[in-house]
């Protein structure tokens, strides 16, 4: 089974930021843990793989109480079925970058050596201040040029994450980027279901709607080919609802997901940010379609802000394309003690943690 995977940070380019690979996994009976450390909450996934199936042992979400990251991690790890000292995690935001570059065809080893020398040409950070890794997106191509995904992050971001985990008695050989972890979840679970709703030439856009920033990713044949941050998130929508309807932020947060008979009124209150979101999506889609000469078949929504009632219909109407909420649950087996109802409520928040756990 093909899948997207991030490699160990101590095996490529001086403990670099890991990037994606493809390989065929063997039987694995040890649980794998993915920990998504966000701004407002931590998300945890524990699963085990056997043959071609994935069984979800634990899923948990803990709000970040008063910015206490270490305390929140301790609390969420207490939910594990099998205690662990090692896990998969990722970073995001400013100081992380993904680039898609056309290069002369060469081996992966040659490519990494090339970027050790030429990193300054492609990234705005001095090469002695970053961890970096690269991946050939079309390794079997016959063209003289090849498509390469390159990811970098400032060293201080990775070093701070390692220190945070080390201070908690944890370790990781694996730190990725949120968007690539999300692509991994989509790729692995799509393949595990035999891509029943997709064909090999499908082009899928995924919009991860976060608290302060949303991330757009476009995949061809389940591999990422375009990334962009859009600075519209759930927090902005909540603020607009609060201001427009004259209610508290707490009431606005509830109305955003449970509008009752006020759905249109709430959508109208968010007009400014929703218009901005649509404009950014259109610009991104137009650029991608022009560059790749290929149409996008659908837009999938994930992330906490995708719970905004009516958002999928609004985007479908204004973008004139199919828009759906991405539900990874049908691809997983569940242990008897997991509530399917609660899991479905939170599935949109678990994509990154799930993608991380699927790196086992």
Domains 5-194+327-357 and 229-324 share a fold: yes
Report the C-alpha gap between 109 and 107 in whole angstroms: 5
* Each residue's pLDDT tens digit, 178-206: 998 998 898 888 766 554 444 445 899 99
Closest to 219 in 3D by CA, of 176, 175, 192, 186: 186
| Domain spans, the chain | 5-194+327-357, 229-324
* Each residue's pLDDT tens digit, 292-336: 999 999 999 999 999 999 999 999 999 999 999 998 888 899 998
Element (H, E) at 356: helix 351-357
User: Which pLDDT belongs to residue 197?
Assistant: 46
Per CATH, is 5-194+327-357 categorized as 3.30.420.40? yes
- The whole-number average pLDDT for the span 126-142 is 86
User: Which pLDDT belongs to residue 161?
Assistant: 94
Query: Residue 209 in contact with residue 281, Cβ under 8 Å?
Result: no
Q: What is the pTM of this model?
A: 0.86
User: Which pLDDT belongs to residue 189?
Assistant: 84
- DSSP annotation string for 286-325: HHHHHHH-----EEEEESGGGGSTTHHHHHHHHHTS-EEE
* Each residue's pLDDT tens digit, 49-88: 877 789 999 999 999 988 899 999 999 999 999 988 889 9
- Fold (CATH) for 229-324: Nucleotidyltransferase; domain 5 (3.30.420)
pLDDT at 358 over 50: yes
Query: Residue 351 in contact with residue 302, Cβ under 8 Å?
Result: yes
Residue 17 DSSP label: P
3-class SS string, 142-195 = CCCEEEEEEEEEEHHHHHHHHHHHHHCCCECCCEEEHHHHHHHHHHHHHHHCCC
Closest to 34 in 3D by CA, of 16, 11, 59: 59
Q: How many CA atoms lie within 13 A of 322 on its CB side?
A: 10
* Each residue's pLDDT tens digit, 150-173: 888 999 999 999 999 999 999 887
In which band, very low, low, confident or very high, does the pLDDT at 91 lie, cut at 50, 70 and 90? very high
Query: Residue 177 in contact with residue 89, Cβ under 8 Å?
Result: no
User: Which pLDDT belongs to residue 201?
Assistant: 53
* Each residue's pLDDT tens digit, 244-268: 999 999 999 999 989 989 999 999 9
């Amino acid at each position: 089974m093909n899948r997207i995977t991030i490699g160990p940070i101590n095996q490529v380019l001086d403990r670099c930021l890991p990037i994606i690979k493809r390989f065929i996994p063997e039987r694995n009976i040890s649980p794998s843990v993915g920990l998504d450390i966000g701004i407002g909450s931590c998300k945890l996934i524990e699963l085990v793989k056997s043959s071609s199936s994935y069984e979800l042992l634990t899923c948990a979400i803990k709000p970040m109480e008063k910015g206490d990251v270490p305390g929140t991690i301790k609390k969420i790890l207490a939910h594990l079925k099998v205690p662990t000292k090692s896990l998969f995690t990722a970073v995001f935001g400013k100081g992380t970058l993904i680039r898609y570059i056309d290069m002369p065809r060469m081996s992966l080893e040659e490519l990494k050596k090339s970027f050790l020398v030429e990193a300054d040409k492609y990234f705005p950070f001095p090469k002695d201040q970053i961890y970096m890794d690269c991946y050939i997106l079309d390794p079997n191509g016959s063209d003289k040029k090849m498509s390469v995904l390159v990811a970098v992050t400032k060293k201080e971001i990775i070093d701070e994450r390692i220190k945070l985990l080390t201070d908690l008695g944890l370790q990781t050989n694996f730190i990725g980027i949120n968007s690539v972890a999300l692509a991994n979840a989509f790729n692995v679970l799509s393949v595990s279901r035999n891509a029943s709703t997709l064909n090999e030439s499908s082009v899928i856009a995924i919009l991860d709607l976060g608290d302060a920033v949303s991330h757009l990713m476009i995949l061809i044949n389940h591999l990422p080919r375009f990334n962009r941050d859009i600075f519209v998130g759930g927090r902005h929508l909540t603020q607009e609802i609060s201001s427009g309807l004259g209610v508290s932020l707490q009431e606005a947060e509830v109305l955003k997901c449970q509008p009752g008979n006020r759905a249109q009124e709430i959508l109208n209150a968010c007009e400014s940010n929703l218009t901005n979101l649509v404009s950014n999506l259109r610009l991104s889609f137009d650029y991608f379609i022009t560059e790749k000469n290929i149409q996008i078949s659908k837009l999938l929504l994930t992330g906490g802000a995708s719970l905004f009632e009516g958002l999928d219909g609004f985007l479908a109407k204004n973008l004139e394309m199919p828009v759906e909420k991405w539900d990874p649950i049908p691809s997983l087996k569940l242990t008897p003690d997991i509530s399917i109802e609660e899991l479905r409520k939170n599935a949109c928040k678990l994509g990154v943690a799930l993608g991380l756990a699927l790196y086992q």
